[in-house]
Amino acid sequence: MTYILKEIFYSLQGEGERVGRAAVFCRFAGCNLWSGRAVDRVSARCRFCDTDFVDSASVRVKRFSDATTLVSVIISMWPGGGRPYVICTGGEPLLQIDALLINALHAADFEIAVETNGTLPVPLDVDWVCVSPKTGVTLVQTQGNELKLVYPQENVEPGDFEHLPFSHFFLQPMDGPALAYNTKRAVEYCLAHPHWRLSLQIHKYLNIP
C-alpha cells in the first residue's frame, strides 16, 4: 500500500490528555468529511478543519511505497530515550492506516495514537484512541481513551456523548475569528458540567508545529 501524508514532524502534543508529550506526528492526507479543497468547504460535512492536506502547487504531499519505508522515516525523527510515540492524524488517518503499518511501528517499539473523526473503526492494536465527533455524522468508533469535541458546533451538544465509554472528555474551543468567544463558552460549559475538561491548542500559543 502507498501511504500519502501531508507532513511528518517531531513536536509536543499540544492538546488533550497527553498535552506536552513528545511525539512524531504523521498527518495523513485525505478525509471522508471534506475534500481538502477550499472551494468545497461550504458543502463539506466538516467545515472547520485547520489542515490543508491536498496536493497542490503550495502544498506537496509525501508518498511512501510501503510501511517499512514510512516507519524508517518515523524512527529517524525520534531522538532516543523515553517510550517512542507516534500520533497518526489527518485528514482522516484511518483511511490509510492498516495492519502492516501498525505491526511495523510496534516492532520498532512505538506507542501508536490515532486522532480520528470516529466514522471508521479503529484497529484493536492501536494504543491510544482520540475521537473528535463532527456535526451530522454517525459515530462508528464509540469508545476509546479520549473524546475531544470541538466546541461549539451547530446541532451538537456535549451531553450527546457523555454516555459513551471514553476515559476522558474534552471540549476544545473552535479556532477562528470567534476563538475568544468560543473559549469563553467552553470554559463556562466545563465549569457547569465537570464531566468535561477544557483542551487548549497550546502549540498554537507557543508557535510550535
146 in active site:
no
163 in active site:
no
Characterize 138-169 residue by residue with b for buried, 16 or more Cβ atoms within 10 angstroms of its Cβ, and e for exposed: ebebbebbbbbbbbbbeebebeebeebebebb
Q: Nine-digit cell at 159?
A: 451531553
The whole-angstrom separation of Cα 96 and Cα 150 is 23
154 in active site:
no
Please tell me which residue in 15, 26, 28, 46 is annotated as part of the active site: 46
88 in active site:
no
The whole-angstrom separation of Cα 103 and Cα 201 is 30
Please tell me which residue in 26, 89, 92, 115 is annotated as part of the active site: 115
Q: Which residues, at least 6 apart from 92, have a Cβ–Cβ distance to it below 8 Å?
A: 28, 30, 31, 32, 33, 116, 117, 119, 120
Please tell me which residue in 15, 26, 28, 49 is annotated as part of the active site: 49
183 in active site:
no
66 in active site:
no
Please tell me which residue in 51, 52, 55, 142 is annotated as part of the active site: 51
Q: Dihedral sign for Cα 176, 157, 154, 33, please.
A: positive
Please tell me which residue in 2, 9, 40, 50 is annotated as part of the active site: 50
Please tell me which residue in 26, 31, 88, 130 is annotated as part of the active site: 31
Cβ–Cβ under 8 Å, residues 158 and 189: yes
Tell me which residues are annotated as active site: 25, 31, 46, 49-51, 115, 203
